[in-house]
Structure 1
Amino acid sequence: MSLVELIGQADERGLAASGLACLDRCVPLLGGDDEILRPLWAGLSDDAGAAEWGERLEQVRGKLGGDGEFGADDGEPGLAGSGSGDSHGSGEDEAVLLARRMLAAAPVERSAAGVRAWADACSVAALQIHRLLDPLKDAGDSVDARREGRTEGMSPLVAAELRRQITVLELLAGHGPAGLRPALEVSTEGRRVLRAVVSRRSRRRG
């Protein structure tokens, strides 16, 4: 089953976990520590956490400086630049912008409709971020093709991110709340990989 199909079939908890996991893996671009999103993860374990989602989200935005909204031309997170992979300015600058958009677009109310749109956009954004930062070129025309199952010629960083997105959704679909812990472990692994990539790029610039 393709990533697009998995997102289409996911329930509210799975969608929230999918979007949150994408954002969690990109936290190194926002200057956050590894625990910054833990309160949001904890709130996914039961229905009561849905009521506290908005408050916890605003606390995270305050810490990461991501409480701004999209401008009129910003569009949905992750859609800008997702076609050709060309960037305006450096790839890392665009990657940071996409990560900030993911955070800014997170819905304050954790409704199924709101988190579905967010999870889908975060999926695109996270794949595009990994495409921008991958030292090897991804041969696909767009990340949308990857999400639909066309995986020929994927670069390693993009392939790993696609696999993690699929795994998170499968864990939540198959195990419900019990899938949250392994989903978090998958996301933690991806965050460490991206942090290492960002660190290597920083050393090369220095």
Structure 2
Amino acid sequence: MSLVELIGQADERGLAASGLACLDRCVPLLGGDDEVLRPLWAGLAEDAGAAEWGERLEQVRGKLGGEFGAVGGGDGESDADGSGDFSGSGSGSGEDEAVLLARRMLAAAPVERSAAAVRVWADACSVAALRIHRLLDPLKDAGDSVDARREGRTEGMSPLVAAELRRQITVLELLAGHGPAGLRPALEVSTEGRRVLRAVVSRRSRRRG
């Protein structure tokens, strides 16, 4: 089953976990530590209500800093247009664009965790995370777009993009197959991906230095 199909069939918890996992793997671009999103993961495991999710989300935004109102999410509405894309018209390139996408993932997280809102957010986070890995991969991804990858056309994928696609699929399969019990292994998958991206960012920084 393709990633697009898995997102289409996921329930609210699976969608929230999918979006959160994408964001978690990209935390190194936001300057956050490895524990910064743990309150949101814990909220999913505890089945915390929508209000508590919103409170924890605002606490996370406060820790990571930045002006999130400029890119949406502050009023509980996603900045995505419903097509899984909140990249906007950013003119940056390379790592700058990757950082912008990561910030928009956090900014667009819905304060009110409704099924409709997290579906849009999860889809947008999926696209953004794949774009981030494509931007930072030292090897070129031969595909025309990440949309093709999400739909199952995987020929010529670069290693970093292939690994991110695999992790996104795995997280959704874990939640679909195991419900709340799938959260812990989903977090482990995300932690592995975060370590990989942190190493990539670190190597790029050393090269610049």
Normalising by structure 1, we get a TM-score of: 0.91
Q: Is the 8 A contact 1:16 1:115 kept in 2?
A: yes
Q: Is the 8 A contact 1:128 1:143 kept in 2?
A: yes
The alignment covers a number of residue pairs equal to: 206
Question: Residue 61 of structure 1 corresponds to which residue in structure 2?
Answer: 61
Q: Is the 8 A contact 2:71 2:107 kept in 1?
A: yes
CA distance in 1, matches of 2:49, 2:77: 26
Q: Note closer, same or farther for the CA distance 1:157–1:79 as it changes in structure 2 (3 Å cut).
A: farther
CA distance in 2, matches of 1:124, 1:22: 9
Q: Is the 8 A contact 1:30 1:96 kept in 2?
A: yes
SS of the aligned residue for 1:154 comes to coil
CA distance in 2, matches of 1:108, 1:75: 4
Deviation (angstroms), 1:89 = 3.7
Q: Is the 8 A contact 2:17 2:171 kept in 1?
A: yes
- Which runs of 5 or more structure 2 residues have no equivalent in the other structure? none
CA distance in 2, matches of 1:75, 1:97: 19
Q: Is the 8 A contact 1:77 1:125 kept in 2?
A: no
CA distance in 2, matches of 1:58, 1:32: 15
Deviation (angstroms), 1:174 = 0.2
Deviation (angstroms), 1:110 = 0.7
Q: Is the 8 A contact 1:82 1:128 kept in 2?
A: no
Cα deviation per residue 1:99-131 (whole Å; 9 max; x = unaligned)? 000000000011100000000000000000000
CA distance in 2, matches of 1:72, 1:14: 20
**Which moves more between the two structures, 103-112 or 70-79?**
70-79
SS of the aligned residue for 2:71 comes to coil
Deviation (angstroms), 1:197 = 0.1
Deviation (angstroms), 1:69 = 3.5
Normalising by structure 2, we get a TM-score of: 0.90
Q: Is the 8 A contact 2:26 2:129 kept in 1?
A: yes
Q: Is the 8 A contact 2:79 2:108 kept in 1?
A: no
Q: Is the 8 A contact 1:45 1:177 kept in 2?
A: yes
Cα deviation per residue 1:150-184 (whole Å; 9 max; x = unaligned)? 00000000000000000000000000000000000
Q: Is the 8 A contact 1:26 1:99 kept in 2?
A: yes
Aligned-residue Cα RMSD (Å) equals 3.4
SS of the aligned residue for 1:44 comes to helix
CA distance in 1, matches of 2:20, 2:54: 13
Identity %: 91
Deviation (angstroms), 1:50 = 3.4
SS of the aligned residue for 1:78 comes to coil
**Which moves more between the two structures, 192-201 or 69-78?**
69-78
Cα deviation per residue 1:76-95 (whole Å; 9 max; x = unaligned)? 99989999999844300000
**Which moves more between the two structures, 120-129 or 39-48?**
39-48
CA distance in 2, matches of 1:151, 1:188: 24
Q: Note closer, same or farther for the CA distance 1:171–1:48 as it changes in structure 2 (3 Å cut).
A: same
Q: Is the 8 A contact 2:26 2:194 kept in 1?
A: yes
Q: Note closer, same or farther for the CA distance 1:77–1:160 as it changes in structure 2 (3 Å cut).
A: farther
